[in-house]
Each structure stands twice: as structure tokens, then as C-alpha cells.
Structure 1
Amino acid sequence: MSQITAIILAAGLGTRMKSALPKVMHPVAHRPMIRHLITTLETATQGDDLRIVAVIGPDMPVLEAAVAPHPFVIQHDRRGTGHAVQMALPELPDSGTVLILMGDAPLLRPETVRRLIETRQTKGAALLVGAFRPVNPTGFGRIIQAADGSITRIVEEKDLAPDQKAIPLCNGGIYAVDAARLPGLLARLTPNNAQGEFYLTDIVEHAVSDGALVLPLDIAADEIHGVNSRADLAFVEGIAQARYRAAAMAGGATLLDPASVYFAADTKIGQDVTIGPNVVFGPSVTVADRVTIHAFSHIEGATVASGAIIGPFARLRPGAQIGDGAHVGNFVEVKNAVLGAGAKANHLTYLGDADIGAGANIGAGTITCNYDGINKHRTIVGAGAFIGSNSALVAPVVIGDGALIGAGSTITRDVPADALAVVRGELVQKEGAAERFRETRRAAKAKKKD
């Protein structure tokens, strides 16, 4: 078991985001960026002794809640990345590896974190720097290497000599450091720059001057991409969605138009699932094997059992549980409701706070009237029951097994098993009344014109 401590730098205000929300709380695939990093760290270090410490700014309660149960420290004076890491020093152990990550770079993969840890340990490096090779390196600090590949220093873009501008290897802002060496390296940082800040990159030169080994680790550019604007956020979202789509297809799902399907970070998709165009998954969705989800469906907080058919134009809201082989058809909304195996609601229906029994059939236009303006109540429809079209089931109400509800009924009382319930006004017919009505109206209209 290794001692791993991860410092996530998350104190930035993100002024270019133009938002009251802390920058690292902006979501990618319905998950705050900082939670992506925390999940990645927890996945990558299973079996290790992991400690995560977030460095946040003052007055960020939403961020404090997001990092819980992990501890945080507050950087009251934002004096650079080196100063931010100094704030975390009291939380650091004396041994092991310290990872330093940027909270606005959520696309780091668990396998990359594992490589950072293991490469530093096996190579005996005091410091490992995550490096990347962008198509256009302009704007990034360059990594200067010795003949043996070790790093001698990092040079910021504005300080590059003309012959250094062609260097392709850039600083990714990710570090793996020997925990025993880190306090001494941080103690030597000075704010000798125009901004009066403590630059974390200066620890590279201090380590080299001590004769310690500093190495780069190549990381794919898309894993290091940071978010400083809404445009960056959209770009990162695109990369994340491409990953989720690829993972779903690699896992045995068919996406008829992959680019139009949007996943949440925690979406779980089974095998032999077919997903049509323009399907959107919100958080907390699990889809079992052999499910078909037709176009333009929106699903969040729901579970869909094997063989079910959803959509097109269906909406499953939180608490929806769709049973084996059940059907939820076009323009059907399900919220906090259970559809038993083989139950069907194929058209223009709202099922909220309901239990629909196995094999029940819910006719077009049916609604469960679950809210009385103060409280919500539950509707129970028994197995094999048939609810006629355009029916209103006023909760709390129980429709027994095998009961039949006539179309157009408003049901306000329980219906026993196998009973027939019809609630309609009496049909009144007056022969010739329609033509008399039209004649009266025509005469009135003609008189008005005169």
C-alpha cells in the first residue's frame, strides 16, 4: 500500500466564466469538474492510502460541500499556484507521493494518475511533471530537457528564447512529488515577478539545483485541457461526451447517431441496447440489456430493466423504474413511478407517484392526479388492469388487478379487482339541433353586417 496525497487547486474565481458559481463547480456531463477529479483519484488509487486535500477560496460553501468528506484549506490571498500548495502543507504526510492537480482540468484518466504515481516511484524521481504536446504550443510553458531526457527547467512563453519556441513539449500543470522533498522545495519559492506571485513551476529548478531527478511524463493533450471560459467548458464537454459514447459502443450498445446522444458521467448502459438519435441522459440512469430507446427521449434518475422499450419522445424523470419488457411510448412522462414487467403506456400519458402492475395497459391521455396543491399521493394500478383512454386517476386511489376503466372516466374511489368502472355524464342528443344552431348563428352574423 502506497501513501498518496492529492492536492487539488480549486481557489480560482474563474472571472472569464462570468458566473457566481466557483469555476471548478461548473459541470461536465452533469458532474462538477472537481468531482470528476475526485472520482478519478479514488478509482486510480484503490488499494492505496489516499488523502485528498482541496485548496479553495473563501466564501465557497458549495465547493466545501462538493469536496466532502475530503478536507479543504482556504487560500485567503490568491498569490499563485505555489502559494496555494503552501496552504496545504499542514495536511501533508512526511512520506509517499504528493500529486498536484488543477481543479479546472477534469478529463484526467485514472490510468494516467496511476502512471504518474508508479513512474515517479520506479524511476526514483523527486519530481515528475505531466507534459503534453499540443498541435500549437503557443501560449504554454516549455519543458527544457537535458540530453538524458530529464528536465532542467520550465520556461514560460513570454521568457522563451527564439530557438526555444519550437520546443513541442509543454508543461501540463500536473505534478507528482516526493512528499519528503516537497516542503523544502516550497520554502524556497519567492515572489520575484511582476505579479508578486509564488510560481509552482519554480520547484523544478530548485529540485534540479539539489541534484534531484526531475522527469517529464507524456500525457495526451485532451486530458490536460483546462477550463477558463464557457467556450473551454463546451470544448471539454465535447471530449467527455466522445469518451462516453465510445465506451457505450465498446460495451455492446448501438448508437444510431452517436454525435447526437448525450450521457451523464454516471450513466450505465448494458449490452445489446439500441439508442436512437437525440437521446439525452441526465444523472443516475441505469439501463439493462436489450433495451431500445427511441429518438428524442430524455432520461434522468431512472432505471430501465431488460427488454424495455422507451420512446420516441418519452421522458423518464427521477424515481422512474421501468420493468422487464415494459413500454413507455411517445409523449409519455413517468416520475417517481414503477411500471411492472410488461406494463404498457404507449401514448400521451403522465404517470407520477404511481405503481403500475405487471401487464397493465395504460390508455392514451391517461393521467395520475397525484398533487392536491399541498401533498402528493400515490396511485396503484393492479396487474393486468386496463385503463381506458383519457382517464384521470385521482390519488390516492387503488385500481385492483384485472380491473377495467372505461375511457374518459375520472376515478376518485378505489376499484376492486376485475371490476368495470365507468364515470361519464349522460349522453344527450337533440335531432336537428346542430343545423338549427348554425342557422341562428348565420342570421345573427348577417344582421350584424347590415
Structure 2
Amino acid sequence: MPRSFRSTIVRTTVATMTVAMVLVVLGIQLVLDRTAQRDIRQVLEDRSQAMITVIEQASTTRLTVPADALEPGIAVYDDSGQRIAGSVESTARAAADDLGTTTTTRAAEGPTDDDRLLGTPFTTPSGDTGVLVVSQEAEPYERSELYALIATIVLGVLVIGATAVIALRVTSQALRPVSQMAERAADWSEHDLTHRFGLGPPTNELAALGETLDHLLDRVAAAIRSEQRLTSELAHELRTPLTAIQGSADLALLRGVDDDAVREDLRQISASARDMAGVIATLLDIARDGTTTGREQACTIADVVPGLLAAAGADVEVLDRTDGSTARVAAPAALVVRAVSPVVDNAARHARSQVVLGAVDHHDRVDLLVRDDGDGVDPALRERLFEPGASSRGGGAGLGLGIARRVARSLGGEVELDRSDAGGTTFRVSLPRG
């Protein structure tokens, strides 16, 4: 399914902000963890230094530890590694005893990672040596880290949501003029190519886009006018000699011709000239009205059926099953007949005995179905069926289906081969609803 440019921008912005917030959360947690570890170490060092100062002041003659100066979580070990004063939590006692023999300042963790310990060797003025082990609970710091993580995640979600809302609003406002320009251009191409955006000098991106589209519309309108003028001129130039040919053939037939072969040739010349005159009339209609032909006019399928029945002739039976269609076609009945008549004529020439006309209404178009009971379209001809000169049976110049498609497209519709097999052929003529 195609995606809108606005949704692509919003998704890209949200994805970028999500990645950024994830990196921010991870960065904040890394900084908080290092800060917490540093603060715990600093607390341990400060408590150790304060306690060693007290012990040194009390140990002038021998190692003396004032009992009233010992805080919870502090233990003093002598030079043999025996604890002589204080105590630590039972869960960290083994780690503290291990630090009691250290000769350098060393940190350790408890078995549950909830305690941090620091062993610091000291020497008293009396010359006695020992180790001071201080423990500190890490749970308050870890709890602060958890609260900070939750807060940053909630903040990140809020920031991402706000980013999505802002991106949606900004892109909607920024692209609304572009959408309006696209809608206007589509409407103008359907109804009138003389309109222009006229946004003035290209002082911003939208004005530059409008100026570019105006130039493009100028070129399109010029090309269409040139094509219409050429078609009209050619049609007018061909109409006079064709009229003369048809008149001469009809006059000769009226005078009477004894030779059967010559009489048949004259009839063929008259019929072909009449067909070509119909093609030229169609081309003139297209050149006169162009892509804006009678959009304000409308008709129903019932309005064009009489003309289609006349196009089928009297050689085959024509069944009209279009009574189920009530929608109006966004084109005048005369041009709809021009678009569908070649298809009906083609069906009549290739049918064994019967041609069926049907119609189906859709929400945006009306499909007119023309079905014959002939032998179907030659597979070798299907790819170029609508090209000029494509004909599988004598009596046709191979222009009918191509002209039908051209007229239908000038009305905003289409002519397509819907089905073809041994049981017959069905063409579908789609026309826009009024």
C-alpha cells in the first residue's frame, strides 16, 4: 500500500527521536552508575580516614581503639589479621575478614552486591600496624538509580509522543498547500487548463513549485492546443474529398450500373467513405471540445442506446440489457455514442447472430459492456488490437477500436478487452460518472 509523504516524515522523525532517547537513557544510566560508585568510594574513604585519625590519636603508646568512636559497619584488625574491635554485617563478614590482612588500600563487594567494603592499612604513632575495614550499603544508591531510570524512561516516552504530535502537526501544515495545489491541478486538468496557481515570485519553496507547475501547465496546454488544431485542420482537409468520393459513388449507383462487380465496388466505396466521414466527425468533435468536453453536460446509458442500436445495423440481433444502469455519465450523449459506436460496430461485424449490451454502475464510473457471440479475438491480434490498422476481418479499416479508445480517454474513460474466447468477445467501455 502506498505511503504518504507526511506519514513517512512522521515515522522517520519518531524513529530518530526514539533512537536518540534510548541513547540518552543509556547515557544517563551509565553516568549515574559511575557517579554512585564514585560516591560510595568517597564515603568509604572519608569514614576510613576519620576513623584512622581517631585511632592514631588514641594509640600513643599502644594500639587502642575507642569503643565509643566506632560506628556500625567498621571493624579494626591487628597485624595478624584478627578482628580486635567493631563489627560488620553478617553477610559481609567473610569479605571483611579477607580485607583484614591486606597491605594496600583495597575495595571489595559483599556476596550479594548490596555492600561495598574498603580495607585501609594504618600505622599508629606507637608503631603498631593494623587494617581498618569500613562497609557501606549500596542499596540506597541503587534505588536512586532505579528511580532515575524509571523517570528517564517516562520522560523519553513523553518526549517521543510529543515529537510525534509536533511532527504530525508541522508536516500537516507544511504539506497542506502542496495537497491543495495537487487537487487544484487535478481539477484543472479535468475541466480547464487555463487556470494557473499564480503564487508570485519564487520567494519560497512553495512559490517556486507553483511557478514550475504553471510553466508545466503552459506547455501541456500548448501541446494540447497544437494537437487539437492539427487534428481539426486534417479533418477539414479530408472531409471535402471524402464527400466528393461518396457523392460520386452514390450518384453512379443512382444512374444504374449493369455490371454486378462494379456496382458492388461502388457500394463498398460509398460505405467506406461514409465510415471515414464518421471517423473524421469524431476527430472534429474531439478537437473542438478536447479534454474539457462538456463536463458540465451529462447523460444516462438509456440516452445513448438508440445511437448504439443504429451503429449495430440490421444484420444481427441486439439485446439491450442496460436498464439496470441509472447513473449519469459525465459527458454529452453524442460523444458517448462516438466512443461506443465503433465497439458496437466491431461486435456486429464479428458476431454470429447476436450482440448484447450491458451496463454496470460503480461509485466513480459506469461500465458499458458490449458482448458478441463470435469466434473471439485472434490471440496474435490481442496485443495490438487498439493500434491503427489492426483488423482480423475484411470490411474494416482497423481504425474503429483505436478511435473508440481515443474518444473514451478524451472523456476521462477507457476501452478495454474484457474477455475473449470461443464463446465470444466482451469489450468494456468505462466512462466517468457525472
Shorter-chain TM-score bucket reads under 0.3
Flag the structure with more relative contact order, 1 or 2, with Cα contacts below 8 A and sequence separation at least 6: 2
TM-score scaled by length of structure 2: 0.18
Higher helix share: 2
Larger Rg: 2
TM-score scaled by length of structure 1: 0.18
